Amino acid sequence: MKLVVQVKLLPSPGQASALEAPLRACNRAAAYASQVAFAKELKDRNGLQREVYTDLKATFGLSAQPVVRVVKKVVDAYAVLKANLQAGNLGPPTAKRYRKAVGTPIAFRPEAAQPFDDRCLSWQYDARTVSIWTIDGRMKGIRFACSPDQLKTLVAHRKGERDLVRRGGTWFLIATCDIPDPEVYEPTDWIGVDRGIVNLATTSDGTNHQGRRLSRYRRWQARKRAELQARQTRSATRRLARRAQLRQFCLGLPRELEEAAIVDGCGHWRVYWNIVLPMSRPILSALAILFFLANWNAFVWPLVATNDQSLTVVQLGIASFQTQYGSNWNYILAAATVAALPMLVLFFVFQRQIVESIKTSGLK
């Protein structure tokens, strides 16, 4: 089992400057190697290393082993990019992100993490110091800090590369530890709890406790969602988005308030009426406004459903000012202004609720 241990380096100002130089040099070398790999389509480690090995040593002042680490970092980056493309994580080939990813070489930040192996970095556990390769030679005596458990894990199980990372002006070393898998045993007298995703509670004998009411509600939600998705209309898409927005808002409500009310003796209905509903006023107000706007601006349904001129809505009235022989633009613009007034009034009256609901639900 792989486990990552992060330790904090405590370099002096002079040591910090010496650490920054090789980090930036390695990332400049990685950017150069990435451009060569992209231009010559060299994605294998041996081929790219033969192509750039001499240039990286001469141009960027790197020794042999850091050059090997830089080449491996570039090859790994292109391997990850290829996997993301194949998995569709960047969209279809026609997507802008996809075309940008395949059309430009991979770039490396000046302070991106740099991997080191045992020939570039060594540990002195008793003194809690490390020795790291730099452009000016080996730098020894860099102190590090970690918990006793982390130190014990490093001593017993450290294996593989270490990454030198600078984050927010602080230096870290991230080491990989290969820990033996724990012994498999049959658990007894325990309950595993899944908070509302699939099962609420499942005991070790396989008994599932989630309640008929919850199962029925989940099936109803899945059926409604499938019905809306099958319609493939703008109205159905809008309703799906509103349902998702309302659900996201409700998931963000503090569970502690509900639990405190239950402890005080409130039932489910009182928790909903006195806690959940008052806290949901912003999202309910915003959804009510959005539904009003959608119906206020509706054109096709009133055109199909009404034949009586006395029942004509304002959008149909605006359309009636346009004929095949001409348009009464003064009437059209005046009617459009009148039609926009209720929406403007609603926004200015309820703008606080709209902003609050969007901010809390995470809608982008």
Structure tokens at 257: 């308030």
User: What pTM, to 2 d.p., does this model score?
Assistant: 0.53
**Across 22-31, 111-120, 328-337, least confident range:** 328-337
The confidence score (pLDDT) of residue 108 equals: 94
- CA 335 from centroid of its chain's CA atoms: 45
pLDDT surpassing 60 at residue 266: yes
The confidence score (pLDDT) of residue 39 equals: 93
pLDDT band at 43 (very low <50, low <70, confident <90, very high): confident
Q: Which residues lie closer than 8 Å to 73 by C-beta, 6 or more apart?
A: 30, 108, 114, 115
Write the secondary structure of the chain as one string of H (helix), E (strand) and C (coil). Answer: CEEEEEEEEECCHHHHHHHHHHHHHHHHHHHHHHHHHHHHCCCCHHHHHHHHHHHHHHHHCCCHHHHHHHHHHHHHHHHHHHHHHHHCCCCCCCCHHHHHHHHCCCCCCCCCCEEECCCCEEEECCCCEEEEEECCEEEEEEEEECCHHHHHHHHHHEEEEEEEEEECCEEEEEEEEECCCCCCCCCCCCEEECCCCCCCEEECCCCEECCHHHHHHHHHHHHHHHHHHHHCCHHHHHHHHHHHHHHHHHHCCCHHHHHHHHHCCCCHHHHHHHHHHHHCHHHHHHHHHHHHHHHHCCCHHHHHHCCCHHHCCHHHHHHHCEECCEECHHHHHHHHHHHHHHHHHHHHHHHHHHHHHHHHHCCC
As beta bridge partners, residue 143 has: 10, 129
As beta bridge partners, residue 175 has: 5, 162
Contact status, residue 165 vs residue 174, Cβ threshold 8 Å: yes
At 131-141, the pLDDT tens digits run 998 888 889 99
pLDDT surpassing 80 at residue 201: no
At 116-161, the pLDDT tens digits run 988 888 899 999 999 998 888 889 999 999 988 988 998 888 887 8
Contact status, residue 145 vs residue 6, Cβ threshold 8 Å: no
Mean pLDDT value of segment 239-259: 78
The confidence score (pLDDT) of residue 211 equals: 66
Mean pLDDT value of segment 216-245: 80
**Across 50-59, 105-114, 186-195, least confident range:** 186-195
The confidence score (pLDDT) of residue 364 equals: 40
pLDDT surpassing 60 at residue 196: no
Average pLDDT, the chain: 83
Contact status, residue 136 vs residue 22, Cβ threshold 8 Å: no
The confidence score (pLDDT) of residue 271 equals: 84
Distances (CA, A) of 174 to 129, 171, 250: 14, 10, 38
d(CA 248, CA 246): 5
Higher pLDDT, 11 or 327: 11
The confidence score (pLDDT) of residue 361 equals: 46
The confidence score (pLDDT) of residue 56 equals: 93
pLDDT surpassing 60 at residue 186: yes
Would you list the domain boundaries of the chain? 2-178, 186-222, 294-361
Mean pLDDT value of segment 307-334: 76
Q: Treating both helix axes as pointing N-terminal to C-terminal, what angle do 64-87 and 13-40 enclose, rounded to 10 degrees?
A: 60
pLDDT band at 357 (very low <50, low <70, confident <90, very high): low
